[in-house]
A = this chain, B = another copy of it.
Amino acid sequence: MPGLTIGDTVPNLELDSTHGKIRIHDYVGDGYTIIFSHPADFTPVCTTEMAAMAGYAKEFEKRGVKLLGISCDDVESHREWTKDIEAYGGGKHKVTYPILADPGRDAIRQLNMVDPDEKDAKGVSLPSRALHVVGPDKAVKLSFLYPATTGRNMEEVLRAVDSLLTAAKHGGKVATPANWKPGECAVIAPGVSDEEARKMFPQGFETADLPSKKGYLRFTKRVT
Is A49 an interface residue when CB atoms closer than 8 A count as contact? yes
SS class, residues of chain A in contact with chain B:
mixed
Contact B163 A83 (CB under 8 A): no
* Complex-state Cα separation, A102 to B156, whole angstroms: 29
How many identical subunits does the complex contain?
A: 2
A73 / chain B contacts, CB cutoff of 8 Å: none
Contact B172 A149 (CB under 8 A): yes
Whether A167 contacts B151 in the complex (CB less than 8 A), given A1-B5, A81-B212, A83-B211, comes out as no
Contact A153 B159 (CB under 8 A): yes
CB distance from A31 to the nearest CB of B (A): 17
Contact A149 B178 (CB under 8 A): no
A154 / chain B contacts, CB cutoff of 8 Å: 178-179
Contact A212 B160 (CB under 8 A): no
Closest to A217 in B: B44
Is A142 an interface residue when CB atoms closer than 8 A count as contact? yes
Closest to A133 in B: B147
* Complex-state Cα separation, A133 to B165, whole angstroms: 27
> Which residues of A pack against B, CB within 8 Å?
1-3, 5-8, 40, 42-45, 47-49, 51-53, 80-81, 83-84, 87-88, 112, 115-117, 128, 130, 141-156, 159-160, 163-164, 167, 172, 174-180, 187-190, 208, 210-212, 214, 216-218
